[in-house]
Amino acid sequence: MRHIRESLEESKTRITELIFTINQEITHSWSAKEIMYVDAYFAFLRHQADILIKPEKKSVLYQQEQQIREYLSKLLGCDKNTEFIVMMKQIQAAVLERLHELEQYKSQIVKESHRYVYHTSAVKDLVCLYASQKKENMYNNEVVDAVFGTTDYDQLVLYLGRAVAGGMHVIQNGRICVYPKNPTDRLCGEDVILKKPVYLYRVDIEYFEPVIDFRVQNNCAEFCFEYEWIARRPYVPCKGKKIESISLKDWRKHEIYYSTGLEDAINLSEEYKKSMSISEVEQTMKRLIFEKKIVQDCIPMEI
Protein backbone atom coordinates (compact mmCIF):
# COMPACT_ATOMS: atom_id res chain seq x y z
CA MET A 1 0.00 0.00 0.00
CA ARG A 2 2.90 2.38 0.68
CA HIS A 3 4.07 2.22 -2.94
CA ILE A 4 0.53 2.89 -4.17
CA ARG A 5 0.18 5.84 -1.76
CA GLU A 6 3.46 7.40 -2.90
CA SER A 7 2.62 7.01 -6.60
CA LEU A 8 -0.88 8.44 -6.24
CA GLU A 9 0.26 11.36 -4.09
CA GLU A 10 2.97 12.22 -6.61
CA SER A 11 0.44 12.34 -9.46
CA LYS A 12 -2.02 14.23 -7.22
CA THR A 13 0.51 17.05 -6.86
CA ARG A 14 0.71 17.35 -10.65
CA ILE A 15 -3.07 17.23 -11.03
CA THR A 16 -3.58 19.94 -8.39
CA GLU A 17 -1.24 22.23 -10.32
CA LEU A 18 -2.99 21.38 -13.59
CA ILE A 19 -6.48 22.14 -12.19
CA PHE A 20 -5.20 25.49 -10.90
CA THR A 21 -3.82 26.31 -14.38
CA ILE A 22 -7.08 25.25 -16.06
CA ASN A 23 -9.14 27.48 -13.79
CA GLN A 24 -6.79 30.39 -14.39
CA GLU A 25 -7.14 29.86 -18.14
CA ILE A 26 -10.94 29.76 -17.92
CA THR A 27 -11.03 32.91 -15.79
CA HIS A 28 -8.81 34.89 -18.16
CA SER A 29 -9.81 33.46 -21.56
CA TRP A 30 -13.54 32.82 -21.33
CA SER A 31 -16.07 35.64 -21.47
CA ALA A 32 -18.52 36.10 -18.59
CA LYS A 33 -21.30 35.05 -20.95
CA GLU A 34 -19.51 31.84 -21.94
CA ILE A 35 -18.92 30.96 -18.28
CA MET A 36 -22.60 31.44 -17.43
CA TYR A 37 -23.69 29.40 -20.46
CA VAL A 38 -21.43 26.47 -19.52
CA ASP A 39 -22.63 26.73 -15.92
CA ALA A 40 -26.22 26.51 -17.20
CA TYR A 41 -25.33 23.51 -19.35
CA PHE A 42 -23.97 21.60 -16.33
CA ALA A 43 -26.98 22.62 -14.24
CA PHE A 44 -29.11 21.02 -16.95
CA LEU A 45 -26.98 17.84 -16.83
CA ARG A 46 -27.46 17.62 -13.05
CA HIS A 47 -31.20 18.07 -13.49
CA GLN A 48 -31.35 15.31 -16.10
CA ALA A 49 -29.44 13.00 -13.76
CA ASP A 50 -31.78 13.87 -10.88
CA ILE A 51 -34.75 12.81 -13.00
CA LEU A 52 -33.22 9.34 -13.22
CA ILE A 53 -31.93 9.23 -9.62
CA LYS A 54 -35.00 10.67 -7.86
CA PRO A 55 -38.03 10.02 -10.12
CA GLU A 56 -40.35 9.92 -7.09
CA LYS A 57 -39.54 13.51 -6.06
CA LYS A 58 -41.73 15.07 -8.74
CA SER A 59 -42.44 18.34 -6.92
CA VAL A 60 -38.73 18.92 -6.24
CA LEU A 61 -37.84 18.12 -9.85
CA TYR A 62 -40.57 20.41 -11.16
CA GLN A 63 -39.35 23.28 -8.97
CA GLN A 64 -35.80 22.60 -10.09
CA GLU A 65 -36.81 22.69 -13.74
CA GLN A 66 -38.67 25.96 -13.27
CA GLN A 67 -35.59 27.54 -11.67
CA ILE A 68 -33.36 26.40 -14.53
CA ARG A 69 -35.95 27.52 -17.09
CA GLU A 70 -36.07 31.00 -15.56
CA TYR A 71 -32.26 31.14 -15.46
CA LEU A 72 -32.02 30.11 -19.14
CA SER A 73 -34.62 32.61 -20.28
CA LYS A 74 -32.68 35.43 -18.60
CA LEU A 75 -29.40 34.30 -20.16
CA LEU A 76 -30.90 34.02 -23.63
CA GLY A 77 -33.25 37.00 -23.35
CA CYS A 78 -36.23 34.92 -24.46
CA ASP A 79 -39.70 34.13 -23.15
CA LYS A 80 -39.57 31.81 -20.12
CA ASN A 81 -42.33 29.73 -21.71
CA THR A 82 -39.96 28.72 -24.52
CA GLU A 83 -39.54 24.95 -24.59
CA PHE A 84 -36.92 23.80 -22.10
CA ILE A 85 -35.02 21.63 -24.58
CA VAL A 86 -35.03 24.42 -27.22
CA MET A 87 -33.31 26.80 -24.80
CA MET A 88 -30.76 24.16 -23.86
CA LYS A 89 -29.89 23.48 -27.49
CA GLN A 90 -29.26 27.21 -27.98
CA ILE A 91 -27.00 27.27 -24.91
CA GLN A 92 -25.08 24.20 -26.06
CA ALA A 93 -24.62 25.51 -29.61
CA ALA A 94 -23.31 28.84 -28.32
CA VAL A 95 -20.52 27.24 -26.25
CA LEU A 96 -19.71 24.13 -28.29
CA GLU A 97 -16.09 25.21 -28.60
CA ARG A 98 -15.77 25.70 -24.82
CA LEU A 99 -17.33 22.28 -24.14
CA HIS A 100 -14.75 20.81 -26.51
CA GLU A 101 -12.03 22.54 -24.44
CA LEU A 102 -13.34 20.79 -21.33
CA GLU A 103 -12.85 17.47 -23.13
CA GLN A 104 -9.27 18.50 -23.91
CA TYR A 105 -8.73 19.31 -20.25
CA LYS A 106 -9.86 15.78 -19.42
CA SER A 107 -7.18 14.44 -21.78
CA GLN A 108 -4.58 16.53 -19.97
CA ILE A 109 -5.68 15.00 -16.66
CA VAL A 110 -5.18 11.51 -18.10
CA LYS A 111 -1.63 12.39 -19.20
CA GLU A 112 -0.68 13.74 -15.77
CA SER A 113 -2.24 10.89 -13.78
CA HIS A 114 -0.87 7.66 -12.35
CA ARG A 115 -0.93 4.78 -14.84
CA TYR A 116 -3.54 2.83 -12.86
CA VAL A 117 -7.05 3.45 -11.58
CA TYR A 118 -8.06 1.52 -8.43
CA HIS A 119 -11.26 -0.22 -7.39
CA THR A 120 -12.07 -2.03 -4.13
CA SER A 121 -14.28 -5.06 -3.64
CA ALA A 122 -15.21 -7.70 -1.07
CA VAL A 123 -14.95 -10.30 -3.87
CA LYS A 124 -11.63 -12.08 -4.34
CA ASP A 125 -9.79 -13.36 -7.42
CA LEU A 126 -11.53 -11.19 -9.99
CA VAL A 127 -9.92 -10.93 -13.43
CA CYS A 128 -12.51 -8.45 -14.74
CA LEU A 129 -14.53 -5.66 -13.17
CA TYR A 130 -18.07 -5.39 -14.52
CA ALA A 131 -19.91 -2.12 -15.02
CA SER A 132 -22.40 -0.83 -12.47
CA GLN A 133 -25.79 -0.20 -14.06
CA LYS A 134 -27.51 3.19 -14.02
CA LYS A 135 -25.20 4.66 -11.37
CA GLU A 136 -24.72 8.40 -10.79
CA ASN A 137 -21.24 9.90 -10.65
CA MET A 138 -19.97 11.83 -7.64
CA TYR A 139 -21.18 15.17 -9.04
CA ASN A 140 -24.63 13.81 -9.90
CA ASN A 141 -24.32 15.24 -13.41
CA GLU A 142 -24.60 11.92 -15.26
CA VAL A 143 -26.09 8.48 -14.74
CA VAL A 144 -24.03 5.84 -16.52
CA ASP A 145 -23.41 2.15 -17.04
CA ALA A 146 -19.72 2.08 -16.17
CA VAL A 147 -16.89 0.71 -14.06
CA PHE A 148 -15.99 3.24 -11.36
CA GLY A 149 -12.55 3.81 -9.84
CA THR A 150 -10.36 6.35 -8.10
CA THR A 151 -6.80 7.69 -8.17
CA ASP A 152 -7.02 9.37 -4.76
CA TYR A 153 -5.33 7.42 -1.97
CA ASP A 154 -7.38 8.95 0.85
CA GLN A 155 -10.59 7.96 -0.96
CA LEU A 156 -9.14 4.50 -1.51
CA VAL A 157 -8.72 4.04 2.25
CA LEU A 158 -12.39 4.85 2.80
CA TYR A 159 -13.44 2.50 -0.03
CA LEU A 160 -11.51 -0.35 1.62
CA GLY A 161 -13.60 0.27 4.73
CA ARG A 162 -16.74 0.32 2.58
CA ALA A 163 -15.82 -3.07 1.07
CA VAL A 164 -15.90 -4.50 4.61
CA ALA A 165 -18.93 -2.56 5.91
CA GLY A 166 -21.04 -2.86 2.77
CA GLY A 167 -21.58 0.88 2.27
CA MET A 168 -20.62 4.35 3.47
CA HIS A 169 -21.77 7.94 3.56
CA VAL A 170 -19.08 10.57 2.98
CA ILE A 171 -19.42 14.14 4.25
CA GLN A 172 -17.32 17.21 3.50
CA ASN A 173 -15.15 15.62 0.82
CA GLY A 174 -14.17 12.66 2.97
CA ARG A 175 -13.29 14.51 6.15
CA ILE A 176 -16.12 12.57 7.81
CA CYS A 177 -17.22 9.06 6.88
CA VAL A 178 -20.14 7.07 8.32
CA TYR A 179 -20.25 3.30 7.77
CA PRO A 180 -23.37 1.14 8.28
CA LYS A 181 -21.27 -1.06 10.60
CA ASN A 182 -17.78 -1.07 12.09
CA PRO A 183 -15.26 -2.30 9.47
CA THR A 184 -12.29 -2.59 11.86
CA ASP A 185 -11.34 -5.38 14.25
CA ARG A 186 -8.37 -4.18 16.27
CA LEU A 187 -5.14 -2.21 16.27
CA CYS A 188 -1.90 -4.12 15.69
CA GLY A 189 1.17 -1.92 16.04
CA GLU A 190 0.80 0.89 13.50
CA ASP A 191 -1.90 -0.88 11.48
CA VAL A 192 -5.67 -1.18 11.71
CA ILE A 193 -6.76 -4.77 11.14
CA LEU A 194 -9.98 -5.09 9.13
CA LYS A 195 -12.76 -7.44 10.21
CA LYS A 196 -12.32 -9.42 7.01
CA PRO A 197 -9.95 -9.30 4.03
CA VAL A 198 -10.96 -7.14 1.07
CA TYR A 199 -9.46 -6.79 -2.38
CA LEU A 200 -7.82 -3.92 -4.20
CA TYR A 201 -7.91 -4.10 -7.98
CA ARG A 202 -5.90 -2.02 -10.41
CA VAL A 203 -6.86 -1.26 -14.01
CA ASP A 204 -4.88 0.48 -16.74
CA ILE A 205 -5.96 4.11 -16.99
CA GLU A 206 -6.38 3.80 -20.77
CA TYR A 207 -9.86 2.34 -20.21
CA PHE A 208 -11.03 5.33 -18.15
CA GLU A 209 -11.99 8.97 -18.40
CA PRO A 210 -12.04 11.49 -15.52
CA VAL A 211 -15.36 12.61 -14.04
CA ILE A 212 -15.58 16.42 -14.08
CA ASP A 213 -17.96 19.17 -13.10
CA PHE A 214 -18.25 22.91 -13.75
CA ARG A 215 -19.76 25.40 -11.34
CA VAL A 216 -19.90 29.12 -10.72
CA GLN A 217 -19.66 30.03 -7.03
CA ASN A 218 -19.32 33.57 -5.71
CA ASN A 219 -18.97 34.79 -9.32
CA CYS A 220 -15.95 32.52 -9.77
CA ALA A 221 -15.87 29.72 -12.35
CA GLU A 222 -14.53 26.38 -11.15
CA PHE A 223 -13.54 23.35 -13.20
CA CYS A 224 -13.81 20.42 -10.77
CA PHE A 225 -12.06 17.05 -10.70
CA GLU A 226 -11.83 14.95 -7.53
CA TYR A 227 -10.19 11.76 -8.80
CA GLU A 228 -13.24 9.73 -9.76
CA TRP A 229 -12.96 7.82 -13.04
CA ILE A 230 -15.39 5.87 -15.20
CA ALA A 231 -14.87 3.24 -17.89
CA ARG A 232 -17.82 3.19 -20.29
CA ARG A 233 -17.42 -0.52 -21.00
CA PRO A 234 -19.28 -3.67 -19.99
CA TYR A 235 -16.11 -4.82 -18.21
CA VAL A 236 -12.38 -4.07 -17.86
CA PRO A 237 -9.48 -6.47 -17.10
CA CYS A 238 -7.92 -6.08 -13.67
CA LYS A 239 -5.25 -7.37 -11.31
CA GLY A 240 -5.93 -7.64 -7.59
CA LYS A 241 -4.32 -8.06 -4.19
CA LYS A 242 -5.70 -8.98 -0.79
CA ILE A 243 -5.80 -6.23 1.85
CA GLU A 244 -6.14 -7.19 5.51
CA SER A 245 -5.01 -3.98 7.21
CA ILE A 246 -4.68 -0.22 6.75
CA SER A 247 -2.07 2.11 8.18
CA LEU A 248 -3.40 3.76 11.36
CA LYS A 249 -1.97 7.07 10.15
CA ASP A 250 -3.97 6.81 6.91
CA TRP A 251 -7.13 5.70 8.73
CA ARG A 252 -6.93 8.58 11.20
CA LYS A 253 -6.89 11.19 8.40
CA HIS A 254 -10.66 10.81 8.47
CA GLU A 255 -13.27 11.25 11.18
CA ILE A 256 -14.87 7.79 11.21
CA TYR A 257 -18.30 6.86 12.57
CA TYR A 258 -20.54 3.85 12.14
CA SER A 259 -24.22 3.15 12.59
CA THR A 260 -25.51 1.38 15.71
CA GLY A 261 -28.28 -0.25 13.70
CA LEU A 262 -31.08 1.79 15.26
CA GLU A 263 -31.65 3.48 11.92
CA ASP A 264 -30.98 2.01 8.50
CA ALA A 265 -28.32 3.49 6.25
CA ILE A 266 -30.81 5.00 3.78
CA ASN A 267 -32.66 6.97 6.44
CA LEU A 268 -29.40 7.92 8.12
CA SER A 269 -28.06 9.40 4.88
CA GLU A 270 -31.01 11.79 4.78
CA GLU A 271 -29.58 13.49 7.89
CA TYR A 272 -26.69 14.94 5.91
CA LYS A 273 -27.05 17.67 3.32
CA LYS A 274 -24.29 18.91 1.03
CA SER A 275 -25.33 22.48 1.74
CA MET A 276 -24.60 22.11 5.48
CA SER A 277 -21.94 24.34 7.01
CA ILE A 278 -19.16 22.83 9.13
CA SER A 279 -20.92 23.88 12.33
CA GLU A 280 -24.24 22.38 11.13
CA VAL A 281 -22.51 19.09 10.35
CA GLU A 282 -20.88 19.03 13.79
CA GLN A 283 -24.23 19.68 15.48
CA THR A 284 -25.85 16.90 13.42
CA MET A 285 -23.11 14.41 14.35
CA LYS A 286 -23.40 15.27 18.05
CA ARG A 287 -27.19 14.85 17.91
CA LEU A 288 -26.94 11.47 16.18
CA ILE A 289 -24.42 10.28 18.78
CA PHE A 290 -26.68 11.50 21.59
CA GLU A 291 -29.62 9.68 19.99
CA LYS A 292 -27.42 6.55 19.85
CA LYS A 293 -27.82 6.23 16.07
CA ILE A 294 -24.07 6.41 15.40
CA VAL A 295 -20.87 5.99 17.40
CA GLN A 296 -17.41 7.38 16.75
CA ASP A 297 -14.72 4.95 15.70
CA CYS A 298 -12.71 3.57 18.64
CA ILE A 299 -10.26 0.81 17.70
CA PRO A 300 -9.34 -1.59 20.53
CA MET A 301 -5.66 -2.30 21.12
CA GLU A 302 -4.39 -5.81 20.42
CA ILE A 303 -3.90 -7.77 23.65
Q: What is the mean pLDDT of residues 5-9?
A: 93
Looking at per-residue pLDDT, the higher value among 42 and 65 belongs to 42
Tell me whether residue 60 is in a domain.
Answer: no
Domain count for the chain, please give it.
Answer: 1
**Would you state the pLDDT for residue 263?**
65
Tell me whether residue 68 is in a domain.
Answer: no
Q: At what angle do helices 84-94 and 96-112 cross, to 10 degrees?
A: 60
Looking at per-residue pLDDT, the higher value among 141 and 277 belongs to 141
Tell me whether residue 71 is in a domain.
Answer: no
SS3 call for 125: coil
Tell me whether residue 49 is in a domain.
Answer: no
The per-residue pLDDT for range 111-132, each reduced to its tens digit, is 999 999 999 999 999 999 999 9
Contacts for 144 with CB less than 8 Å, ≥ 6 apart: 134, 135, 136, 137, 230, 232
The per-residue pLDDT for range 144-203, each reduced to its tens digit, is 999 999 999 999 999 999 999 998 888 877 788 889 999 999 998 899 999 999 999 999
Tell me whether residue 88 is in a domain.
Answer: no
Q: Is the alpha carbon torsion for 166, 170, 174, 178 positive or negative?
A: negative
Q: Half-sphere exposure (CA, 13 Å, Cβ side) for 139?
A: 21
Instruction: Give the Å distances, CA to CA, from 141 to 46, 56, 183, 258.
Output: 4, 18, 30, 28
Distance CA 11, CA 210 (A): 14
Note down the domain range covering 239: 2-30+95-296
